Amino acid sequence: MLEEFSTVQAAVDAIGRGEVIIVVDAEDRENEGDFICAAEKATTENMNLLLSGRGDFCLSILPDTAARLELAPLADTNNTPLGTAFMTPLDHRDCRTGITADERMMTVRAIADPHSGPADFVRPGHVHLLVAKEGGVLRRAGHTEASMDLARMAGLASAGVLCEILDETGNRGSHEFLFAVAQENNLEIISIEQLIAHRRVNEKLVHRNAEAKLPTKYGELDIIVYAVDFEGNEPVALVLGDPSTNENPPLVRMHSSCFTGDLISSLRCDCGDQLHMALDMISKEGCGVLVYLPQEGRGIGLAEKIRAYALQEQGMDTVEANHALGFKADMRDYGVGLQILKDLGLSQLRLLTNNPKKLEAFNLRGYDVTVVDQVPIVASVNEHNERYLETKREKMGHQLP
């Protein structure tokens, strides 16, 4: 059987038609798949299909719905591993027991109705309420947020029904099992990772927060600090000239922050060298952009990067150290950087990179930004970064000599 995910758009279309889909999360998280459908489109039939998953039957809602229905947290202290926000379970007041597919459909649709109120329900009931984070999967990569996002993206009330899928042994269904269930029931199946990537590309998340002129040894730059919806990060664009109207596609560098390399000239990496080489190359051309993305340690953060350094001192390379700490070799995401380039009016550019992953980022659907040339940016080798650069080339595909 071919295990191939559906497109996010196909899943959204199915949700809009009232169909059930399967959503899979990461192996290093819950590692499970859930049946999901829109609360507004609940029917006896699709509720019955969800219940066949045999997990916990839940409904995701936003905080304003919880306030409207006067819901309280199920526990005073939530110490669940993933912080799932369980609230008071409800049944519609017209239910007999609330346990049947038809009665759950009645309860779900009433909760999704913006005109319903606390008096329309009895408590406790059989529909478990989960409060999703504002911002959805961009704030928390959970099924709760995914179900709410998908309903919203389909133009429906921001509330989704979900139920974990267990296999015949009562354990979480494996990916192979989930794809078999999808094929057997003709259901779309996507991953939360896909949904995150889709939203980053297709929704405008960046906004200019502050701008000024910045005189540097590379020329007078425009510095623009961006705010990113649902994130605390503040990426920065350093702009020389007007890259949106330049006759030739401008040079662009997408640079991930590196405290040790950029600020204190660490010899363990080539980051600081690449930062200054990029600014020098842009300066000599008289036009270009450097986007500075707060993604320390290939996205694992400064403390974890230093822990990785300690493992490298014991003989591991950078990839092995990341894996030993439970991370992928490269956790970075370039969706925000792409949005910044789009905000700056770029449509064509020459990308300063040796990293093929950055080129792949520009192939994401939704952006009319084309890389017309990849420009190498090769720093010098020293005894401290030699193995680091070899690992980049041999294990991560960087185009290095």
Any idea which residues carry the catalytic annotation?
330, 332
The per-type count for the chain, helices as H runs and strands as E runs, is 14, 14
Please, which residues have CB within 8 angstroms of residue 120's CB and are 6 or more apart in sequence? 92, 93, 110
Q: Which residue in the block uniquely carries the two structure tokens 């007007």?
A: 242
How many Cβ atoms from other residues are within 10 Å of residue 119's Cβ? 9
Distance, CA of 204 to CA of 202 (rounded, Å): 7
Distance, CA of 259 to CA of 302 (rounded, Å): 8
Helix (H) or strand (E) holding 291: strand 288-293
Distance, CA of 128 to CA of 198 (rounded, Å): 28
For 33, phi then psi, to 5°, come to -120, 145
Distance, CA of 368 to CA of 362 (rounded, Å): 9
The DSSP symbol for 247 reads S
Distance, CA of 20 to CA of 108 (rounded, Å): 15
* Residue 126 · residue 89 · CB < 8 Å: yes
Amino acid at position 135, single letter: G
* Residue 329 · residue 335 · CB < 8 Å: no
How many Cβ atoms from other residues are within 10 Å of residue 109's Cβ? 20
* Residue 356 · residue 397 · CB < 8 Å: yes
- DSSP alpha helices (H): ranges in 160-314? 175-185, 192-202, 271-285, 296-299, 302-313
Q: Which residue in the block uniquely carries the two structure tokens 């959204």?
A: 12
Distance, CA of 203 to CA of 237 (rounded, Å): 19
Spell 19-28 as b/e; 16+ CB within 10 A means b.
Answer: bbbbbbbeee
* Residue 99 · residue 126 · CB < 8 Å: yes
* Residue 318 · residue 328 · CB < 8 Å: no
